[in-house]
Structures are given as structure tokens and as C-alpha cells.
Amino acid sequence: MNYLIEKMLNGDWASLSQCKVDLGEVLGQQFILSIAKVAPAYSDSSHHVYKLVLRDVFGHSRKVVIKFTSQKMIAKNQFWQRYNQIFAHNFPEYLLDSHWLFEFYNAREPIRTPEVLLKVWSKESRAGFLMVSWEEGVKLKQVTPYHLAQVGEYLSSLQRVKTIELEEFDLNSWRQRMQYAIEASDISQAAQARLISQLMESDFSELSYCIVDLRWDQFICQPESQRLVMLDLDAMAIMPSHFNWALLEIWLTPQQCANIQSACSREMPDLSGSRELWRWLIWYLELFGVQPLDKVLMAPISFGR
């Protein structure tokens, strides 16, 4: 399937329309009825997204999405450079080589994620793509308590999971990479010392799977059931569970955080000893855009002290 990658690298994707392609064991021979490039959500987007309509040998049609990227595209993106440094993931090759990740996230309740149909990575071109199911839904126009309850329960379900990957996670190495990033960031030496102290002295024994860039624009909603579908799972990482809740404090309003807390099936972690550290990380990764660090640090406190 490397010829598909070459077509996308060369910008010749439109020529794939009306072509027959072999998409491996799961999908087999497929005829591409149509292919259209989806406009990027951000000016610095690290992926090219395509919507395809396929037809199999039995005449059945289905809609799918291809998310294409390359090491060259990632090298231009500051978020992914910093993400790779802190989590040692080598994105995007890491994602395309991790067969269990999407299946794992789709097994959580109550939020749906797309089904992964195909993953292709070319070591020669240093590029690849994910092919996932097309999910029907609409953009969120208004966030309701029911939507918030789904987010809270989903994050709680991630923290209940125990896997070999969690057991083998090297917390000390992660701390060292975080310290390097703190010392390299444009903040005062006094601030660096506080952050490193929180990093090294906090009890981070509870680890969790985290979706680093969780935002409402990652979701669509199924109109009748109001069930959320999370479309983007690229920035996944293992780290202390505190991050999930520290992120909510920046992402959501205090009232929305209260709604989530009332719906959660587990106790919130104590953020008092590490809140500044997590808010620095959110600022450093520019998860909510470029903004002054003080603005992120002064956001309302919603969980614990």
C-alpha cells in the first residue's frame, strides 16, 4: 500500500478516485468511488485528512476517513516536537505501530471512538496513515450536564484500567524528561525550582491513560442519543492521573467541573501539591493556544484545594 502513501506525499490524491485498491486482510479489494480532502481545522495542522467512499466486491459501500502524516510534517509542528520529547513516543510512527491503542480507547464507556480499519507506515517514505470508520454526528452547539457526565465517566474508566503498559511505565525517566523541558523553558529560575520540586516530591504512584489535547472540537454528538463521539485520539500518553483533572480545570468552567465531579464514580486526586506543574505543562504544550503563563496559572481551582 506504499503507492497510496506516495500519491498523498506528492499531492496526487485526487487520481485515486475511481481506482481499485487492495486494502489488506480486513477490507480486501475496494473500489474508491470518491475521495475528497477535508479542510484542516488549524493552520498548523500536522495531518492531511481525506474522506473516501469505498465499494467492495459485493457492491456494499461505506464511508471512511484517512488521516495522513509524515515525519517531515511533524518536524514543523512545535506541539508534536515537545510531546515526543516529554513522552518519548516518536509520533507518528509510535501511533501507527501501536495496534492496541485505539481498540483500548474504544472499549471505554460511554464515549465512542472511530473503529481503526487500517494502519500503514512506510519506513522508506517516513510517512503513513490511519484509516478509520466515518462517524455520523453533529458538532456540539451547547454543552449539557449529560455531555459532561460522559466525559467524567470516561476519564474515570481510564483510571480503573490496569495493563502491562502501565506496570512497565518508567516514572523516573518521565520525570527526567519533564525536568529537562522545565529547565529549557522560558521561565524564571525560581519558577523552575518550584516546578522541579513538585515534579520530584509529589506522589505520582497512580498512573493513567490520558488524552493530552482534550477539547470540545475533538467531539461530535449523535443527535438522538446525545452520545459523544471522540474523533481525535492522536495525543495519547501514560502519566500521573492528576493530569486529567488538572486539564479539566483549564478546559472547563467551574460549574462544568462541578457537574463532572458529581457524576464521577471515583474520588478526585489532590492537586494542591502539583497544580502549578500541570498548568505549566498545559502552557508549555500550548494545548489551548499561545497565552501568558500567568493566565494559565491563575485559572479557577475546581478540584480539591
pLDDT at position 236: 84
- The answer to the question of residue 50 being in a domain is yes
Instruction: Please indicate, yes or no, whether residues 289 and 191 belong to a single structural domain of this protein.
Output: yes
Q: Euclidean distance between the first and final Cα of the chain, in Å?
A: 53
Identify each DSSP E strand in the chain by its residue range: 20-22, 29-38, 48-56, 61-70, 116-122, 127-133, 207-211, 219-221, 228-230, 236-240
pLDDT at position 99: 54
Query: Residue 26: which CATH number?
Result: 3.30.200
Q: Are 17 and 34 in contact (CB under 8 A)?
A: yes
User: Could you say which of 69, 100, 133 is where a domain stops?
Assistant: 133
Query: Residue 193: which CATH number?
Result: 3.90.1200.10
Q: Are 71 and 92 in contact (CB under 8 A)?
A: yes
CA 63 to chain centre: 22
- Per-residue pLDDT reduced to its tens digit, 65-100: 998 888 888 888 899 899 999 998 877 776 666 555
φ and ψ of 173, to 5 deg = -65, -40
Alpha-carbon span 237 to 262, nearest angstrom = 26
Instruction: Please indicate, yes or no, whether residues 98 and 223 belong to a single structural domain of this protein.
Output: no
CA 208 to chain centre: 14
- The answer to the question of residue 81 being in a domain is yes
Residue 55: all three cell numbers together: 465499494
pLDDT at position 13: 83
pLDDT band at 17 (very low <50, low <70, confident <90, very high): confident
User: Could you say which of 133, 161, 186 is where a domain stops?
Assistant: 133
User: Could you say which of 101, 133, 165 is where a domain stops?
Assistant: 133
Q: Please provide the average confidence, as pLDDT, over all residues in the chain.
A: 88
State the virtual CA torsion across 82, 50, 215, 211 in degrees, nearest 10. Answer: -50
- Which three-class secondary structure state does DSSP give residue 126? coil
| Residue span of the structural domain in which 260 resides | 145-297
Of 1-10, 121-130, 240-249, 275-284, the one with minimum mean pLDDT is 1-10
Q: In terms of pLDDT, which residue wins out, 147 or 1?
A: 147
Instruction: Please indicate, yes or no, whether residues 208 and 260 belong to a single structural domain of this protein.
Output: yes
Q: Which letter does DSSP use for residue 215 in this model?
A: -
pLDDT at position 97: 61
- The answer to the question of residue 199 being in a domain is yes
Alpha-carbon span 256 to 148, nearest angstrom = 7
Peptide bond into 92 cis (omega under 30): yes
Instruction: Please indicate, yes or no, whether residues 221 and 249 belong to a single structural domain of this protein.
Output: yes
Instruction: Please indicate, yes or no, whether residues 89 and 154 belong to a single structural domain of this protein.
Output: no
- Per-residue pLDDT reduced to its tens digit, 204-255: 989 988 989 899 988 999 999 999 999 887 888 899 999 999 999 999 999 9
Instruction: Please indicate, yes or no, whether residues 78 and 153 belong to a single structural domain of this protein.
Output: no
Instruction: Please indicate, yes or no, whether residues 74 and 127 belong to a single structural domain of this protein.
Output: yes
Number of domains in the chain: 2
Instruction: Please indicate, yes or no, whether residues 151 and 218 belong to a single structural domain of this protein.
Output: yes
Handedness of CA 267, 272, 274, 276 (dihedral sign): positive
- The answer to the question of residue 36 being in a domain is yes
pLDDT at position 245: 92
pLDDT at position 265: 66
The whole model's pTM is what? 0.91
- The answer to the question of residue 6 being in a domain is yes
Instruction: Please indicate, yes or no, whether residues 160 and 290 belong to a single structural domain of this protein.
Output: yes
pLDDT at position 42: 65
Instruction: Please indicate, yes or no, whether residues 175 and 279 belong to a single structural domain of this protein.
Output: yes
**Which of these, 185, 26, 12, lies nearest to 99 by C-alpha position?**
26
pLDDT at position 11: 82
pLDDT at position 73: 82
Contacts of 220 (CB under 8 A, 6+ apart): 135, 137, 138, 139, 140, 228, 229, 231
Residue 154 has pLDDT above 70, yes or no: yes
- The answer to the question of residue 181 being in a domain is yes
H/E run at residue 266:
none
- Per-residue pLDDT reduced to its tens digit, 170-196: 999 999 999 999 999 999 999 999 999
- The answer to the question of residue 179 being in a domain is yes
Instruction: Please indicate, yes or no, whether residues 179 and 274 belong to a single structural domain of this protein.
Output: yes
Residue 92: all three cell numbers together: 507518528
Residue 100: all three cell numbers together: 492496541
Instruction: Please indicate, yes or no, whether residues 188 and 275 belong to a single structural domain of this protein.
Output: yes
pLDDT band at 101 (very low <50, low <70, confident <90, very high): low
- The answer to the question of residue 138 being in a domain is no
